[in-house]
Amino acid sequence: MQRIIPIESPFFLVPAELGSPADWATVFGNNNPVALEIGCGIGDFIAKTAIDNPGTNFIAIDYYNKGCLKTCSRLERHGITNVRVVRAEARLFIAERIPKGSLAAVYINCPDPWPKKRHRKRRLVNPQFVRFIREYLTPGGEFHFATDFDDYGEDVAAFMPQIPGYANMLAPDLFRHELEGYHLSKYMQKFMAEGKRIYFIHYRTTMEG
Q: How far is CA 117 from the centre of its chain?
A: 24
Burial (CB count within 10 angstroms: exposed 0-12, middle 13-18, buried 19+), residue 62: buried
Q: Which helix (H) or strand (E) holds 150?
A: helix 150-159
Mean pLDDT of 16-44: 96
At residue 6, the pLDDT reads 82
Asked if the model's pLDDT at residue 209 lies above 60, the reply is: no
Mean pLDDT of 26-55: 97
Superfamily assignment of 12-205 in CATH?
Answer: Vaccinia Virus protein VP39 (3.40.50.150)
Task: State residue 37 phi and psi, 5-degree precision.
Answer: -110, 125
CA distances from 197 to 126, 132, 150, 151 (A): 20, 28, 8, 11
Cβ within 8 Å of residue 8, ≥6 positions away: none
At residue 184, the pLDDT reads 93
Residue of 73, 41, 40, 74 lying closest to 58 (CA atoms): 40
- Whether this model's pTM surpasses 0.85: yes
Residue of 94, 97, 93, 72 lying closest to 83 (CA atoms): 72
| pLDDT level of residue 118 (50, 70, 90 thresholds) | confident
Asked if the model's pLDDT at residue 4 lies above 60, the reply is: yes
Mean pLDDT of 143-164: 96
Of the listed ranges 67-76, 93-102, 184-193, the one predicted with least confidence = 184-193
Asked if the model's pLDDT at residue 41 lies above 60, the reply is: yes
Residues written for the chain: 209
Q: Which helix (H) or strand (E) holds 72?
A: helix 65-78
At residue 208, the pLDDT reads 64
At residue 131, the pLDDT reads 97
The yes-or-no answer on residue 112 being catalytic is yes
Give the Cα separation of 206 and 161 in Å (integer).
13
Mean pLDDT of 7-20: 93
Q: Which is catalytic among the residues 44, 62, 112, 148? A: 112
Mean pLDDT of 145-174: 96
Asked if the model's pLDDT at residue 56 lies above 90, the reply is: yes
| pLDDT level of residue 105 (50, 70, 90 thresholds) | very high
| pLDDT level of residue 202 (50, 70, 90 thresholds) | very high
Domains of the chain, by residue range, sit at 12-205
